């Protein structure tokens, strides 16, 4: 009863086609290429978001990250300041292999930006914790005592710096935070907080810059840079100038360089288009630098316009300081609608934790929170899940 047609035999699982080694390599290369393409897309997406940020944020680039936890209490009847260094977290790896660090914390009491004088090494105003080996989230729990009267509180600061111990050379700086004692409610009371680590701050920077503000209807703010004095400029061929801009307004102006003298005079004015409805959410940035060097920095000041009375104008002086790593600078722009969009975008990325390299779990939250860190912007933030909603 044969029909002449040969019987078709289905191949067994062992007879099914299997890829050759060369084809497997091709698949791996394609996957690597696809992953790289996704990485580039993520980076491009982030760069577009960063372009909307405050320029004062964008200029800060460093290899500093992490936080330090400190408790402070002033015992008034004994004129003592108690400082407890509790812990640090999310530190960068500084060892030669780039895997871990050997951190310790140095605490320094400053009066008027200078190390407080002391008559005994036993009561030195620079103290250090013990080194914690191989740990990026070290716990210290060490208490230091400093002599500090109630009258000195207004000029007292604590400089808490984190270092990585190096047995073979100079210890590596990992970040610092300067805390004004007057900002703490620590009068016979314990204040405890996590402080974000910042790049090193140059406390030798000082001086004043004087300006005059005039508002011209319908929507022009005129900024006159009058002069500066007592700046800490190097002796020699130095020609200071002032760079002026308002974040969110697409204009940057520079005064002409001026020969370095005790008092600098420019008397140059610049117009910024700025509707008066936006005055409450804007501020002026003045940066003093050297016209002969791109690396120079003599300090800056940020002038809020929320109290500016445009009918009367303003004339006065502002202190210069090192604000390159100032946390206040990085928080100002949160009042602007553009940053609100940036925040919402970050929350959307945090929801899916994409791109993955930006996010890590927050310790001790049972997977209920994530940390987003953006080194290029010198910023980091924590987001937690509350009732299924991501919040700060």
Decide: pTM greater than 0.85: no
Q: Where in the chain is the domain with CATH 2.60.40.150?
A: 67-196, 208-323
Interval 117-169: pLDDT, tens: 765 544 578 999 999 999 999 999 999 999 999 999 999 999 999 999 998 88
Give the fold, CATH level 3, of 67-196. Immunoglobulin-like (2.60.40)
Give bridge partners of residue 373 from the DSSP assignment: 380
Per CATH, the number for 208-323 is: 2.60.40.150
- Write out the DSSP string of 268-333: EEEEEE--GGGGGG-EEEEEEEETT-SS---EEEEEE-TT--TTT-EEEEEE-B--TT-HHHHHHG
For 250, phi and psi rounded to 5 degrees? -75, 50
Q: What is the pLDDT of residue 31?
A: 77
Q: Which of 56-60, 195-199, 268-272, 279-283 has the highest mean pLDDT?
A: 268-272
* Predicted local distance difference test score (pLDDT) of residue 259: 80
């Amino acid at each position: 009863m044969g029909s002449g047609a040969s019987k078709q035999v289905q191949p067994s699982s062992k007879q099914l086609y299997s890829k050759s080694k060369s084809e497997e390599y091709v698949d791996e290369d394609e996957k690597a290429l696809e992953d790289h393409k996704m990485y580039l897309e993520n980076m491009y997406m982030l760069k577009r978001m960063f372009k909307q940020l405050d320029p004062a944020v964008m200029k800060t680039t460093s290899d500093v990250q992490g936080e330090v936890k400190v408790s402070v209490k002033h015992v008034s009847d004994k004129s003592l300041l108690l400082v407890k260094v509790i812990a640090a977290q999310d530190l960068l790896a500084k060892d030669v292999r780039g895997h871990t660090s050997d951190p310790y914390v140095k605490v320094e009491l400053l009066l008027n930006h200078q190390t407080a004088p002391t008559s005994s090494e036993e009561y030195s105003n620079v103290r250090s914790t013990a080194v914690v080996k191989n740990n990026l989230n070290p716990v210290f729990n060490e208490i230091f005592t400093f002599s500090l009267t109630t009258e000195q509180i207004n000029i007292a600061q604590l400089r808490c710096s984190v270092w990585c111990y190096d047995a073979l050379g100079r210890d590596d700086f990992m970040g610092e935070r300067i805390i004004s004692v007057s900002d703490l409610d620590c009068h016979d009371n314990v204040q405890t907080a996590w402080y974000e680590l910042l790049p090193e701050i140059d406390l030798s920077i000082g001086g004043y810059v004087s300006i005059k503000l005039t508002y011209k209807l319908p929507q022009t703010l005129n900024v006159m840079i009058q002069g500066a004095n007592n700046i800490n400029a190097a002796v020699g061929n130095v020609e200071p100038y002032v760079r002026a801009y308002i974040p969110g307004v697409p204009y940057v102006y520079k005064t002409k360089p001026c020969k370095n003298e005790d008092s600098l005079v420019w008397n140059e004015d610049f117009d910024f288009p700025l509707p008066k409805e936006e005055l409450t959410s804007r501020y002026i940035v003045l940066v003093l630098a050297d016209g002969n060097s791109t690396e120079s920095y003599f300090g800056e000041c940020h002038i809020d316009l929320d109290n500016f009375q445009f009918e009367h104008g303003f004339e006065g002086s502002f202190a210069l300081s090192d604000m390159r790593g100032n946390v206040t600078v990085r928080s100002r722009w949160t009042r602007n609608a553009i940053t609100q969009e940036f925040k919402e975008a970050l929350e959307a990325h945090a929801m899916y934790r994409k791109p993955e390299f930006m996010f890590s779990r927050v310790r001790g939250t049972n997977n209920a929170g994530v940390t987003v860190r953006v080194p290029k912007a010198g910023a980091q933030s924590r987001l937690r899940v509350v009732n299924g909603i991501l919040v700060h």
